[in-house]
Amino acid sequence: MVTFGAAHLYVSQSDKGELVMGGDIDGYNSFAQRGNLPVIEHVAACLLALLPQFSRLRNLRSWGGDANVIRPLAPEDTDDGAWIDYLYLRDNAKGGHDELWQHIFGCRRWLHVRRDVVSHEIIGCSELTEGKP
């Protein structure tokens, strides 16, 4: 793992050899549950400042958030407590977790991925139209 604290960047290598990177927080409130483009660009620029040989890397997949969160169906009838639950509160339990991921470099499709959040093992994967694995 490489960290670069002045720029809030981390990079680690997965068991399969892929690089996992992240850093910084969004500059404004976003309900997208993933880094927005300015943050992703900033993190990538910081990585290249530290390790210019990474300029040929391609972003294969991007995390898209918790797949179990469901937006209230009738926003006008939803009370503040339900909005707080939807926007901010997560169970954060160990073990299998349903997530959304997008193939960034390639088909750009969204996928359901069930991943062990402790070991990072991929338990299952399916197209959004197929439901959760």
Q: Which residues lie near Zn ion (CB under 5 A)?
A: 103, 106-107
The CA distances from residue 63 to 51, 74, 98, in Å, are 23, 27, 11
Cβ contact 113:101 at 8 Å: yes
8 or 114: whose CB is closer to Zn ion? 114
d(CA 12, CA 25): 18
Minimum distance, C-beta of residue 67 to Zn ion, in the bound complex (Å): 17
Of 25 and 107, CB closest to Zn ion: 107
- Closest distance of CB 38 from Zn ion, Å: 25
Q: How far is the CB of 105 from Zn ion (least distance, A)?
A: 9
Alpha-carbon gap, residue 26 to 29, rounded angstroms: 7
Residue with smaller CB distance to Zn ion, 42 or 103: 103
